[in-house]
């Protein structure tokens, strides 16, 4: 079984400052990793994914994440946030060969003007 830990339930950041949202996972098998964003009253939108290859993954809206196998982490970063980035961010994992997604509890990103 897989599990995902998002230690920070809320992260306040000033506009134009950098941000890092942390995600750690646990799995006994190889995994795929994802970040999804949920804007208020909307569904989940895929930000980026790691399937294989380069450990640095670039996604939409200027976000990127780095897969670190030794630390079992997949932290999400953005060098300069905007008010429009206010949302809830979910890290998710699926075991290769098993399509079920296991989600973390989410991190609410609040941008301070």
What is the distance of C-alpha 23 from the center of its chain? 6
Our finding on whether 103 is near other proteins (CB under 8 A) is yes
The residue range among 8-16, 62-70, 75-83, 97-105 that interacts with other proteins, by the rule CB under 8 A, is 97-105
Contact (CB, 8 A) for 48 and 56: no
Our finding on whether 21 is near other proteins (CB under 8 A) is no
Our finding on whether 109 is near other proteins (CB under 8 A) is no
What is the distance of C-alpha 15 from the center of its chain? 19
Question: C-beta of 49: minimal distance to other proteins in Å?
Answer: 5
- Binding residue (CB under 8 A) for other proteins from 36, 63, 74, 89: 36
Taken in order 68, 48, 60, 8, is the CA torsion positive or negative? negative
Site for other proteins in 48-87 (CB under 8 A): 49, 51
From residue 36, how far is each of 21, 28, 63, 70 by CA, in Å? 12, 23, 11, 23
Residues 95 and 92: their CA atoms lie apart, in Å, by 10
The residue range among 10-18, 20-28, 66-74, 102-110 that interacts with other proteins, by the rule CB under 8 A, is 102-110
Question: C-beta of 41: minimal distance to other proteins in Å?
Answer: 9
Phi, psi (rounded to 5 degrees) for 85: -80, -5
Chain contacts with other proteins (rule: CB under 8 A): 32, 34, 36, 42-46, 49, 51, 90, 97-106
């Amino acid at each position: 079984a897989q599990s995902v830990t998002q230690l920070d339930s809320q992260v306040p950041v000033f506009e134009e400052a950098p941000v890092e949202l942390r995600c750690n996972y646990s799995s006994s098998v190889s995994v795929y990793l994802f970040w999804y964003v949920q804007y208020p009253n909307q569904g989940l939108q895929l930000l980026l994914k790691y399937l294989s290859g380069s450990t640095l993954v670039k996604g939409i809206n200027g976000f990127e994440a780095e897969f670190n196998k030794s630390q079992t982490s997949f932290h999400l970063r953005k060098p300069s946030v905007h008010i429009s980035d206010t949302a809830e961010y979910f890290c998710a994992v699926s075991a290769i060969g098993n399509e079920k997604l296991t989600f973390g509890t989410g991190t609410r990103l609040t941008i301070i003007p």
